[in-house]
Structure 1
Amino acid sequence: MRIAPLALLLIAAPAAAADKPKQAPPAAVQKLLDCRALTDSAARLACLDAGVAALAGAVENRDVLVADKEEVKKARRGLFGLALPSFNLFGADKDEVAEGEKKDERGALTEIEATITAARPSRTAGWRFVLDDGSTWLQTDAIGFRRDPKPGMKIRIRRAAMGSYLANVDGQLAVRVKRVVE
Protein backbone atom coordinates (compact mmCIF):
# COMPACT_ATOMS: atom_id res chain seq x y z
CA MET A 1 0.00 0.00 0.00
CA ARG A 2 1.51 3.38 -1.04
CA ILE A 3 0.27 6.54 0.68
CA ALA A 4 3.56 8.43 1.20
CA PRO A 5 3.25 12.12 0.25
CA LEU A 6 -0.46 12.08 -0.42
CA ALA A 7 -3.01 13.79 1.78
CA LEU A 8 -5.59 11.37 3.10
CA LEU A 9 -9.22 12.38 3.23
CA LEU A 10 -11.44 10.11 5.24
CA ILE A 11 -15.04 10.80 4.34
CA ALA A 12 -17.40 9.38 6.98
CA ALA A 13 -14.50 8.63 9.33
CA PRO A 14 -15.03 9.29 13.03
CA ALA A 15 -14.03 12.66 14.46
CA ALA A 16 -10.82 12.88 16.45
CA ALA A 17 -11.04 12.49 20.20
CA ALA A 18 -12.38 15.56 21.99
CA ASP A 19 -9.15 16.13 23.90
CA LYS A 20 -7.07 16.36 20.71
CA PRO A 21 -7.09 19.35 18.36
CA LYS A 22 -9.01 18.70 15.17
CA GLN A 23 -6.82 18.26 12.10
CA ALA A 24 -7.51 20.72 9.30
CA PRO A 25 -8.91 19.13 6.14
CA PRO A 26 -6.95 19.27 2.87
CA ALA A 27 -7.12 22.58 1.00
CA ALA A 28 -9.49 21.22 -1.66
CA VAL A 29 -11.97 20.16 1.01
CA GLN A 30 -11.58 23.37 3.00
CA LYS A 31 -12.41 25.36 -0.13
CA LEU A 32 -15.73 23.51 -0.34
CA LEU A 33 -16.45 23.96 3.36
CA ASP A 34 -15.79 27.70 3.13
CA CYS A 35 -18.57 28.03 0.55
CA ARG A 36 -21.15 27.36 3.29
CA ALA A 37 -20.51 30.83 4.73
CA LEU A 38 -21.68 32.60 1.57
CA THR A 39 -25.24 33.93 1.84
CA ASP A 40 -25.78 34.93 -1.79
CA SER A 41 -27.15 31.86 -3.63
CA ALA A 42 -25.41 32.61 -6.92
CA ALA A 43 -22.07 33.21 -5.21
CA ARG A 44 -22.46 30.04 -3.10
CA LEU A 45 -23.31 27.96 -6.20
CA ALA A 46 -20.30 29.35 -8.09
CA CYS A 47 -18.08 28.67 -5.09
CA LEU A 48 -19.42 25.09 -4.74
CA ASP A 49 -18.94 24.43 -8.47
CA ALA A 50 -15.32 25.62 -8.28
CA GLY A 51 -14.75 23.67 -5.05
CA VAL A 52 -16.14 20.43 -6.48
CA ALA A 53 -13.99 20.84 -9.58
CA ALA A 54 -10.89 21.39 -7.40
CA LEU A 55 -11.73 18.37 -5.24
CA ALA A 56 -12.37 16.15 -8.27
CA GLY A 57 -9.00 17.21 -9.70
CA ALA A 58 -7.24 16.48 -6.40
CA VAL A 59 -8.84 13.01 -6.23
CA GLU A 60 -7.96 12.32 -9.87
CA ASN A 61 -4.32 13.38 -9.27
CA ARG A 62 -4.28 11.30 -6.05
CA ASP A 63 -3.43 14.38 -3.99
CA VAL A 64 -6.48 13.49 -1.89
CA LEU A 65 -7.57 9.94 -1.20
CA VAL A 66 -11.14 9.16 -0.30
CA ALA A 67 -11.94 6.08 1.80
CA ASP A 68 -15.14 4.95 3.44
CA LYS A 69 -15.34 3.54 6.96
CA GLU A 70 -15.26 -0.10 5.79
CA GLU A 71 -12.08 0.48 3.76
CA VAL A 72 -10.45 2.09 6.80
CA LYS A 73 -11.42 -0.86 9.04
CA LYS A 74 -10.02 -3.32 6.50
CA ALA A 75 -6.78 -1.34 6.19
CA ARG A 76 -6.34 -1.10 9.98
CA ARG A 77 -6.80 -4.83 10.35
CA GLY A 78 -4.46 -5.50 7.44
CA LEU A 79 -1.72 -3.44 9.09
CA PHE A 80 -2.04 -5.14 12.50
CA GLY A 81 1.33 -6.59 13.49
CA LEU A 82 3.44 -4.49 11.12
CA ALA A 83 5.94 -2.00 12.50
CA LEU A 84 4.81 1.41 11.26
CA PRO A 85 5.74 4.95 12.23
CA SER A 86 3.52 6.25 15.00
CA PHE A 87 1.20 8.61 13.19
CA ASN A 88 -2.56 8.49 13.14
CA LEU A 89 -3.01 7.44 9.51
CA PHE A 90 -6.55 6.13 9.86
CA GLY A 91 -7.81 8.17 12.81
CA ALA A 92 -8.72 6.73 16.17
CA ASP A 93 -12.08 5.03 16.45
CA LYS A 94 -12.34 4.09 20.13
CA ASP A 95 -16.07 3.50 20.22
CA GLU A 96 -16.50 1.13 17.31
CA VAL A 97 -15.02 -2.35 17.59
CA ALA A 98 -15.45 -4.82 14.75
CA GLU A 99 -16.19 -8.45 15.46
CA GLY A 100 -13.03 -10.33 16.37
CA GLU A 101 -11.09 -7.20 17.34
CA LYS A 102 -10.13 -5.44 20.56
CA LYS A 103 -8.81 -1.89 20.89
CA ASP A 104 -6.98 0.09 23.55
CA GLU A 105 -8.03 3.45 25.00
CA ARG A 106 -6.54 5.29 21.97
CA GLY A 107 -8.48 3.16 19.48
CA ALA A 108 -5.46 1.12 18.29
CA LEU A 109 -6.00 -2.57 17.63
CA THR A 110 -4.64 -4.80 20.40
CA GLU A 111 -6.11 -8.14 19.37
CA ILE A 112 -7.62 -9.88 16.37
CA GLU A 113 -9.41 -13.17 15.88
CA ALA A 114 -9.27 -14.90 12.52
CA THR A 115 -9.41 -18.27 10.79
CA ILE A 116 -6.32 -20.04 9.52
CA THR A 117 -6.47 -20.67 5.77
CA ALA A 118 -3.02 -22.29 5.49
CA ALA A 119 -0.55 -23.63 8.05
CA ARG A 120 2.77 -25.38 7.59
CA PRO A 121 5.92 -25.93 9.60
CA SER A 122 8.46 -23.20 8.89
CA ARG A 123 12.05 -23.88 7.84
CA THR A 124 13.41 -22.37 11.05
CA ALA A 125 11.24 -23.19 14.06
CA GLY A 126 7.54 -23.37 14.66
CA TRP A 127 4.78 -22.74 12.16
CA ARG A 128 3.81 -20.33 9.39
CA PHE A 129 0.14 -19.28 9.33
CA VAL A 130 -1.87 -17.54 6.61
CA LEU A 131 -5.08 -16.00 7.93
CA ASP A 132 -8.39 -15.35 6.20
CA ASP A 133 -7.51 -11.64 5.93
CA GLY A 134 -4.43 -12.57 3.84
CA SER A 135 -1.86 -11.78 6.53
CA THR A 136 1.02 -14.18 7.22
CA TRP A 137 2.38 -14.84 10.72
CA LEU A 138 5.47 -16.81 11.72
CA GLN A 139 5.95 -18.55 15.05
CA THR A 140 9.19 -17.30 16.61
CA ASP A 141 9.51 -19.62 19.59
CA ALA A 142 9.93 -23.41 19.75
CA ILE A 143 6.82 -24.20 21.77
CA GLY A 144 4.97 -27.18 20.32
CA PHE A 145 1.24 -27.60 19.81
CA ARG A 146 -0.80 -30.49 21.18
CA ARG A 147 -2.80 -30.40 17.92
CA ASP A 148 -1.01 -29.23 14.79
CA PRO A 149 -2.49 -26.06 13.29
CA LYS A 150 -4.54 -26.61 10.15
CA PRO A 151 -6.90 -24.64 7.89
CA GLY A 152 -10.23 -23.85 9.50
CA MET A 153 -8.86 -23.49 13.02
CA LYS A 154 -9.49 -20.22 14.87
CA ILE A 155 -6.50 -18.10 15.89
CA ARG A 156 -6.36 -15.20 18.35
CA ILE A 157 -3.39 -12.84 18.06
CA ARG A 158 -2.76 -10.12 20.63
CA ARG A 159 -0.11 -7.53 21.38
CA ALA A 160 2.35 -8.55 24.07
CA ALA A 161 5.31 -6.88 25.78
CA MET A 162 7.91 -4.86 23.89
CA GLY A 163 6.28 -4.98 20.48
CA SER A 164 5.83 -8.75 20.35
CA TYR A 165 2.67 -10.75 19.66
CA LEU A 166 1.15 -13.91 21.14
CA ALA A 167 -1.13 -16.30 19.29
CA ASN A 168 -3.53 -18.92 20.58
CA VAL A 169 -4.41 -21.49 17.93
CA ASP A 170 -7.72 -23.25 18.53
CA GLY A 171 -7.62 -22.41 22.26
CA GLN A 172 -4.18 -23.94 22.85
CA LEU A 173 -1.34 -22.37 24.84
CA ALA A 174 -0.02 -19.11 23.43
CA VAL A 175 3.04 -19.04 21.18
CA ARG A 176 5.09 -16.01 20.20
CA VAL A 177 4.53 -14.86 16.59
CA LYS A 178 5.53 -12.04 14.26
CA ARG A 179 3.88 -10.66 11.16
CA VAL A 180 5.77 -11.25 7.92
CA VAL A 181 5.31 -9.56 4.59
CA GLU A 182 5.59 -11.75 1.54
Structure 2
Amino acid sequence: MNARLLILLPAALISAPALGQGDSSPLDPLFTCRDIVDDSARLACLDAAVDALRGDTERGDVVAVDREQIEAAEEATYGLSIPQLRLPGLSLPGGGEDVELAALEAETASPDRTIIRDDNGQIERIEGLRVVEISENRSGDLIVRLANGQVWRQTDNTHVQLSRRRGVTEYTATISNGALGSHFMRLDNGGRRFRAERVE
Protein backbone atom coordinates (compact mmCIF):
# COMPACT_ATOMS: atom_id res chain seq x y z
CA MET A 1 0.00 0.00 0.00
CA ASN A 2 1.24 3.44 -0.90
CA ALA A 3 2.81 5.00 2.17
CA ARG A 4 2.13 8.56 1.06
CA LEU A 5 -0.73 10.13 2.98
CA LEU A 6 -3.22 12.78 2.04
CA ILE A 7 -4.75 14.79 4.88
CA LEU A 8 -8.43 15.71 4.51
CA LEU A 9 -10.83 17.74 6.62
CA PRO A 10 -14.03 15.65 6.75
CA ALA A 11 -15.92 17.84 9.23
CA ALA A 12 -17.59 19.65 6.32
CA LEU A 13 -18.51 18.32 2.90
CA ILE A 14 -15.63 18.81 0.50
CA SER A 15 -16.28 19.46 -3.17
CA ALA A 16 -14.11 17.47 -5.55
CA PRO A 17 -12.43 20.52 -7.13
CA ALA A 18 -11.67 21.88 -3.67
CA LEU A 19 -9.45 18.89 -2.91
CA GLY A 20 -6.80 20.37 -5.13
CA GLN A 21 -7.26 24.00 -4.14
CA GLY A 22 -6.15 26.14 -1.27
CA ASP A 23 -2.73 26.95 0.07
CA SER A 24 -3.20 25.76 3.65
CA SER A 25 -2.72 22.28 5.04
CA PRO A 26 -3.00 20.78 8.53
CA LEU A 27 0.72 20.06 8.17
CA ASP A 28 1.72 23.67 7.56
CA PRO A 29 2.46 24.39 11.26
CA LEU A 30 4.95 21.50 11.27
CA PHE A 31 6.64 22.79 8.15
CA THR A 32 6.79 26.28 9.62
CA CYS A 33 8.46 24.96 12.77
CA ARG A 34 11.06 23.16 10.69
CA ASP A 35 12.39 26.52 9.48
CA ILE A 36 13.12 27.84 12.98
CA VAL A 37 16.88 28.07 13.48
CA ASP A 38 17.03 27.98 17.29
CA ASP A 39 16.93 24.35 18.44
CA SER A 40 14.93 24.95 21.60
CA ALA A 41 12.40 27.16 19.88
CA ARG A 42 12.08 24.69 16.99
CA LEU A 43 11.48 21.77 19.36
CA ALA A 44 8.88 23.72 21.35
CA CYS A 45 7.13 24.71 18.11
CA LEU A 46 7.15 21.12 16.82
CA ASP A 47 5.80 19.77 20.11
CA ALA A 48 2.94 22.27 20.05
CA ALA A 49 2.15 21.56 16.38
CA VAL A 50 2.16 17.78 16.93
CA ASP A 51 -0.08 18.11 19.98
CA ALA A 52 -2.53 20.22 17.99
CA LEU A 53 -2.49 17.76 15.09
CA ARG A 54 -3.04 14.84 17.46
CA GLY A 55 -6.01 16.63 19.02
CA ASP A 56 -7.49 17.32 15.57
CA THR A 57 -7.04 13.65 14.66
CA GLU A 58 -8.64 12.37 17.87
CA ARG A 59 -11.67 14.66 17.33
CA GLY A 60 -11.99 13.54 13.72
CA ASP A 61 -11.27 17.01 12.33
CA VAL A 62 -8.31 15.59 10.41
CA VAL A 63 -8.17 12.13 8.84
CA ALA A 64 -5.22 10.61 7.01
CA VAL A 65 -5.99 8.34 4.05
CA ASP A 66 -3.70 6.82 1.46
CA ARG A 67 -3.82 7.24 -2.31
CA GLU A 68 -5.39 3.79 -2.81
CA GLN A 69 -8.35 4.77 -0.63
CA ILE A 70 -8.82 8.02 -2.56
CA GLU A 71 -8.76 6.18 -5.88
CA ALA A 72 -11.22 3.55 -4.59
CA ALA A 73 -13.62 6.31 -3.56
CA GLU A 74 -13.26 7.99 -6.95
CA GLU A 75 -14.07 4.73 -8.71
CA ALA A 76 -17.05 4.03 -6.44
CA THR A 77 -18.55 7.47 -7.13
CA TYR A 78 -17.60 7.69 -10.81
CA GLY A 79 -20.51 8.98 -12.86
CA LEU A 80 -22.56 10.28 -9.97
CA SER A 81 -23.61 13.91 -10.04
CA ILE A 82 -22.43 14.93 -6.58
CA PRO A 83 -21.97 18.69 -6.11
CA GLN A 84 -20.40 18.05 -2.70
CA LEU A 85 -18.27 14.94 -2.35
CA ARG A 86 -17.71 13.17 0.95
CA LEU A 87 -15.35 10.28 0.55
CA PRO A 88 -16.98 7.12 1.96
CA GLY A 89 -15.73 5.80 5.26
CA LEU A 90 -13.79 8.91 6.22
CA SER A 91 -16.21 10.43 8.70
CA LEU A 92 -14.56 8.88 11.74
CA PRO A 93 -10.98 8.96 12.97
CA GLY A 94 -9.12 6.06 11.45
CA GLY A 95 -11.96 5.59 8.93
CA GLY A 96 -11.55 4.02 5.56
CA GLU A 97 -13.33 0.68 6.04
CA ASP A 98 -16.08 1.64 3.56
CA VAL A 99 -13.51 2.68 0.99
CA GLU A 100 -11.53 -0.53 1.44
CA LEU A 101 -14.74 -2.55 1.08
CA ALA A 102 -15.65 -0.66 -2.10
CA ALA A 103 -12.20 -1.37 -3.53
CA LEU A 104 -12.49 -5.08 -2.68
CA GLU A 105 -15.97 -5.31 -4.21
CA ALA A 106 -14.83 -3.55 -7.39
CA GLU A 107 -11.85 -5.87 -7.71
CA THR A 108 -14.04 -8.94 -7.18
CA ALA A 109 -16.80 -7.73 -9.52
CA SER A 110 -14.52 -6.90 -12.46
CA PRO A 111 -11.00 -8.16 -11.80
CA ASP A 112 -9.87 -7.39 -15.37
CA ARG A 113 -11.11 -3.80 -15.41
CA THR A 114 -8.69 -1.06 -16.39
CA ILE A 115 -8.92 2.50 -15.07
CA ILE A 116 -7.49 5.14 -17.39
CA ARG A 117 -6.62 8.51 -15.84
CA ASP A 118 -5.78 11.83 -17.45
CA ASP A 119 -2.68 13.94 -16.80
CA ASN A 120 -4.36 15.41 -13.70
CA GLY A 121 -5.05 11.99 -12.21
CA GLN A 122 -8.81 12.15 -12.83
CA ILE A 123 -10.63 9.09 -14.17
CA GLU A 124 -11.00 9.38 -17.95
CA ARG A 125 -12.58 6.00 -18.59
CA ILE A 126 -13.01 2.55 -17.07
CA GLU A 127 -12.75 -0.49 -19.32
CA GLY A 128 -13.75 -4.11 -18.76
CA LEU A 129 -16.63 -3.61 -16.33
CA ARG A 130 -18.61 -6.84 -16.10
CA VAL A 131 -22.31 -6.61 -16.99
CA VAL A 132 -24.90 -8.61 -15.02
CA GLU A 133 -28.16 -7.33 -16.51
CA ILE A 134 -29.38 -5.40 -19.55
CA SER A 135 -32.99 -4.32 -19.85
CA GLU A 136 -35.11 -1.56 -21.38
CA ASN A 137 -37.34 0.98 -19.68
CA ARG A 138 -40.70 2.13 -21.03
CA SER A 139 -38.98 4.67 -23.26
CA GLY A 140 -36.82 1.99 -24.85
CA ASP A 141 -33.63 3.17 -23.18
CA LEU A 142 -31.14 0.52 -22.18
CA ILE A 143 -30.64 -0.02 -18.46
CA VAL A 144 -27.26 -1.63 -17.78
CA ARG A 145 -26.52 -3.06 -14.35
CA LEU A 146 -22.85 -3.76 -13.64
CA ALA A 147 -21.35 -6.34 -11.34
CA ASN A 148 -20.01 -3.58 -9.08
CA GLY A 149 -23.61 -2.51 -8.32
CA GLN A 150 -23.67 0.54 -10.57
CA VAL A 151 -26.70 1.06 -12.81
CA TRP A 152 -26.46 3.18 -15.97
CA ARG A 153 -29.29 4.40 -18.22
CA GLN A 154 -29.00 5.21 -21.90
CA THR A 155 -29.82 8.87 -22.61
CA ASP A 156 -29.72 9.01 -26.40
CA ASN A 157 -31.44 7.12 -29.23
CA THR A 158 -28.40 5.17 -30.44
CA HIS A 159 -29.48 1.68 -31.51
CA VAL A 160 -27.54 -0.96 -29.60
CA GLN A 161 -27.69 -4.44 -31.14
CA LEU A 162 -27.27 -7.32 -28.71
CA SER A 163 -26.42 -10.83 -29.84
CA ARG A 164 -28.97 -13.54 -29.17
CA ARG A 165 -26.16 -16.06 -29.03
CA ARG A 166 -24.40 -14.27 -26.23
CA GLY A 167 -25.53 -14.23 -22.63
CA VAL A 168 -25.88 -10.84 -20.99
CA THR A 169 -23.31 -11.71 -18.35
CA GLU A 170 -20.73 -12.34 -21.08
CA TYR A 171 -20.63 -8.63 -21.90
CA THR A 172 -18.29 -6.05 -20.47
CA ALA A 173 -18.70 -2.30 -20.69
CA THR A 174 -16.42 0.68 -21.11
CA ILE A 175 -17.54 3.98 -19.62
CA SER A 176 -15.79 7.18 -20.63
CA ASN A 177 -16.11 10.88 -19.98
CA GLY A 178 -17.94 13.17 -22.35
CA ALA A 179 -18.31 16.94 -22.41
CA LEU A 180 -19.73 18.89 -19.48
CA GLY A 181 -19.84 15.95 -17.08
CA SER A 182 -21.61 13.57 -19.46
CA HIS A 183 -20.61 9.96 -20.02
CA PHE A 184 -20.56 7.39 -22.80
CA MET A 185 -20.89 3.63 -22.57
CA ARG A 186 -19.79 1.02 -25.09
CA LEU A 187 -20.47 -2.70 -24.79
CA ASP A 188 -17.81 -5.07 -26.07
CA ASN A 189 -19.97 -6.20 -29.00
CA GLY A 190 -18.29 -3.97 -31.55
CA GLY A 191 -21.25 -1.61 -31.50
CA ARG A 192 -21.39 2.14 -31.24
CA ARG A 193 -20.97 3.96 -27.98
CA PHE A 194 -24.03 5.62 -26.52
CA ARG A 195 -24.64 8.36 -23.99
CA ALA A 196 -25.47 7.14 -20.51
CA GLU A 197 -25.98 8.47 -17.05
CA ARG A 198 -25.47 6.69 -13.77
CA VAL A 199 -28.72 6.25 -11.85
CA GLU A 200 -27.48 4.07 -8.98
Aligned counterpart, 1:32? 30
Aligned counterpart, 1:137? 152
Work out whether residues 137 and 143 of structure 2, in 8 Å CA contact, stay in contact via their aligned partners in 1.
Answer: no
Gaps of 5+ in 2: 1-9, 88-112
Over residues 79-104 of structure 1, what are the superposed CA-to-partner deviations in whole Å (9 max), with x where a residue is unaligned?
Answer: 322234499x9xxxxxxxxx723344
Work out whether residues 7 and 65 of structure 1, in 8 Å CA contact, stay in contact via their aligned partners in 2.
Answer: no
Q: Does 1:180 align with 2:187?
A: no
- Whichever residue aligns with residue 145 of structure 2, its letter is V
Alignment coverage as a number of residue pairs: 157
Aligned counterpart, 2:142? 127
Work out whether residues 103 and 109 of structure 1, in 8 Å CA contact, stay in contact via their aligned partners in 2.
Answer: yes
The 3 A distance-change label for structure 1 pair 47 and 35 is same
How many angstroms apart in 1 are the aligned matches of 2:53 and 2:170? Answer: 45
1:88-127 equivalences in 2 (<5 Å): 100-124=114-138, 125-127=140-142
The 3 A distance-change label for structure 1 pair 58 and 151 is farther
The 3 A distance-change label for structure 1 pair 6 and 55 is farther
Instruction: Compute the TM-score of the two structures, normalised by the length of structure 1.
Output: 0.66
Aligned counterpart, 2:69? 71
Give me the CA root mean square deviation. Answer: 3.4
How many angstroms apart in 1 are the aligned matches of 2:13 and 2:84? Answer: 17
- Whichever residue aligns with residue 119 of structure 1, its letter is E
Gaps of 5+ in 1: 17-21, 90-98
How many angstroms apart in 1 are the aligned matches of 2:59 and 2:170? Answer: 42
**Bigger proportion of residues as helix:** 2
Instruction: Compute the TM-score of the two structures, normalised by the length of structure 2.
Output: 0.61
Give the CA deviation at 1:30. 1.4
